[in-house]
Amino acid sequence: MSALLEVNNISKRFGGLQAVDRLSLTVNEGEILGLIGPNGAGKSTVFNLINGVYPPDGGSIVFVGQDITGGPPYRVARQGIARAHQIVQPLGGLSVLDNCTVGACFGRQGLGLVPAREVAREVVDMIGLGDRPDMLAASLTTAGKKRLELARALSARPRLLLLDEVLAGLNPTETEGMIETVHKIRDSGVAILMIEHIMRAVMSLSDRIVVLNLGSKLAEGSPQQVADNPEVITAYLGDSKLLSVAEKPA
């Protein structure tokens, strides 16, 4: 397996807060890498650094052999990295279909308007928004907006997908559906870097897991290795969800 994304020693400081501290990680072709850690560990900031929303204070980010450190975000998107935001960012005044068309037009393939609309329609169907393509994005439910984030990112036909808590706020049925969808995406050959708090999901989906705490890497390995790691358990002490997984490995 070859490396798709290599993050080397990146750091980011906000005022007095070291949000990310010399973090390195690698995402291989076709794999799902889970990124977990307590609230405020710096996970979303890592995504912001990867797709160029902020430049890192130090370190480098290499994607398919190209240095993409420091963005700008639209160039990173063109290289083939797409993202679903933790805090949904719908283009509220545009329809669901148009939101996805934007993704397809300006993503990795940079399609023209007509083929982009085709791709968008396909993705919208696959993600389960096919019954309301003309609805304005602003009037979707929260779960709908979450799906739209994912659909829009997929419409870009990325090589790497950054998923920031796409399961948060979904009910159990919706969660099941979303997990299935993520499997499908991986099977279509897209590598995924996913941030997730729902441990059962992340343990079953990920090939490998990186644990972040206070901005730096605490542990890395297979879901089983990570769950057995005593340091990880300490960092999460109080988070019964992980503890229960750690005690009775799934």
Ligand X SMILES: Nc1ncnc2c1ncn2[C@@H]1O[C@H](COP(=O)(O)OP(=O)(O)OP(=O)(O)O)[C@@H](O)[C@H]1O
Q: Does 95 bind Mg ion (CB under 5 A)?
A: no
Q: Does 86 bind Mg ion (CB under 5 A)?
A: yes
Task: Please name every residue paired with 33 in a beta bridge, in sequence order, or none if there are none.
Answer: 193, 208
Q: Does 19 bind ligand X (CB under 6 A)?
A: yes
Q: Which does 17 bind (CB under 5 to 8 A by kind): Mg ion, ligand X, other proteins, none?
A: ligand X
Kindly identify the residues of this chain, within the stretch 113-142, that bind other proteins according to CB under 8 A. 113, 116
Integer Cα distance of 182 and 187 in angstroms: 9
Q: Does 169 bind other proteins (CB under 8 A)?
A: no
Residues 6+ apart with CB under 8 A from 45: 12, 19, 20, 54, 215
Please count the residues of this chain forming the interface with other proteins, following the rule CB under 8 A: 29
Q: Which does 56 bind (CB under 5 to 8 A by kind): other proteins, ligand X, Mg ion, none?
A: none
Q: Which stretch binds ligand X (CB under 6 A): 35-43, 68-76, 146-154, 201-209?
A: 35-43
Integer Cα distance of 91 and 99 in angstroms: 6
Q: Which two tokens stand for residue 198?
A: 């729902």
Please count the residues of this chain forming the interface with ligand X, following the rule CB under 6 A: 12
The binding site for other proteins (CB under 8 A) comprises 51, 53, 72-74, 77-78, 82-83, 85, 89-94, 98, 101-103, 105-107, 110, 112-113, 116, 152, 156
The binding site for ligand X (CB under 6 A) comprises 14, 17, 19, 37, 39-45, 86
